[in-house]
Structure 1
């Protein structure tokens, strides 16, 4: 009788431990952070004007094709996608990752992409680009909203923290010499996004040195590692 009771207690303990482990696993999965990665640009041009932000009268259009490598003649939209796919792979099981696109032949505006993050109630939205609209300046730039963003649908402090952690990690991984955080309220991808977000210019394909670097898979991998390290750093500081 005592022997059977001990056996019963042992079985019951195993069942309880298994149940506790299962519940813990389900809970972790349920709380898994959602990261939306946007490979900027696309092969299909879209010049349609749209509101620069929620409730704004101002309508603008943005270049959706992006740059062409000044030396390599690679298309920016292809480089952005290659890096995004590497980021997706590196994030692994630690996050639930959604890409706004997985091919170049899509027709999506920047606000469309931001709205994907909104619909998913993502923890972060990161848009990857590889050009500068002004000149051939080299280096890495991360763009976030200003503290006084007039559209006010996300949190400045969190977006600025994300920009800072991404920039620091990218500089560390790539060894880029020139890098900075820029605050702007002129980009639809930022203004339409309701979750912490940043636009990462991982280099400038209009600059010969950056173009050469970005054409190399090894350097693309370093960029992806920098983005992932920045994401990890962001959550460690929250």
Structure 2
């Protein structure tokens, strides 16, 4: 009797251990990846200087309102938010998507935005912009950190992969005339971010040709589809 009871208890223990392992494995597989999308700029100007990266005394200020369409008069903060909302919609339920802002009337620094991704321990952080560093620049550019970025030395491989997959997918969907991946250690959003990240410049509102192209809702949809496809491609290659 005792022997049979011990055997029965052993079987129950094995079943419980198997059930616990299976449930744990299911929870790991079921956990959604967290994607933070940052619609760059805002309607409220903020000229306060902020550190270019953690642990440095180099302070800079950036134009938080952004560009205005040279022909259309479109505000960059409107453009960025429009594309970000479309990206969130297209990503659907496959990912858990968080926006750094859902309205234009916010007052956030670049480091504030990156810290949202850090706090959430996001899987990816993507910042969307519609202006170039030079007034005459044009086309799509995806920027990530350099390999020797002094503020985040562990993110380069995944950030570069993300930049490459985003650009590849955007060019496939939207076919911009000019496109490139660039690396930089001068962008605060990149330097303050502790998760894989990239800045997507979908065009330059200061450039007449880009401004007119970005006014086309079908083109913007293709850009958004490209960003979504780029995220999927990132995970298929990772």
What pairs with 1:24-35 in structure 2 (closer than 5 Å)?
A: 26-29=27-30, 31-35=31-35
Counterpart Cα distance in 2 of 1:178 and 1:85? 25
Q: Which runs of 4+ in 1 moved over 4 A?
A: 22-27
Q: Name stretches of at least 5 consecutive residues in structure 1 with no aligned partner.
A: 1-18
Q: Name stretches of at least 5 consecutive residues in structure 2 with no aligned partner.
A: 1-18
Secondary structure of residue in 2 paired with 1:170: helix
Does the CA-based 8 Å contact 1:68-1:206 persist in structure 2?
yes
RMSD: 1.6
Does the CA-based 8 Å contact 1:153-1:194 persist in structure 2?
no
Does the CA-based 8 Å contact 2:213-2:219 persist in structure 1?
yes
Counterpart Cα distance in 1 of 2:237 and 2:143? 19
Does the CA-based 8 Å contact 1:153-1:193 persist in structure 2?
no
Secondary structure of residue in 1 paired with 2:93: helix
* Offset of residue 199 of structure 1: 0.3
Does the CA-based 8 Å contact 2:149-2:185 persist in structure 1?
yes
Is 1:128 the counterpart of 2:114 in the alignment? no
Q: What does residue 178 of structure 1 align with?
A: 178
Counterpart Cα distance in 1 of 2:116 and 2:87? 18
- Number of equivalences: 218
Does the CA-based 8 Å contact 1:117-1:193 persist in structure 2?
yes
Counterpart Cα distance in 1 of 2:173 and 2:107? 32
TM-score by length of 1: 0.88
* Offset of residue 153 of structure 1: 5.3
Does the CA-based 8 Å contact 2:147-2:153 persist in structure 1?
no
Q: What does residue 214 of structure 2 align with?
A: 214
Q: What does residue 112 of structure 2 align with?
A: 112
Q: What does residue 232 of structure 1 align with?
A: 232
Counterpart Cα distance in 2 of 1:161 and 1:78? 28
Is 1:161 the counterpart of 2:161 in the alignment? yes
Q: What does residue 58 of structure 2 align with?
A: 58
Q: What does residue 5 of structure 1 align with?
A: none
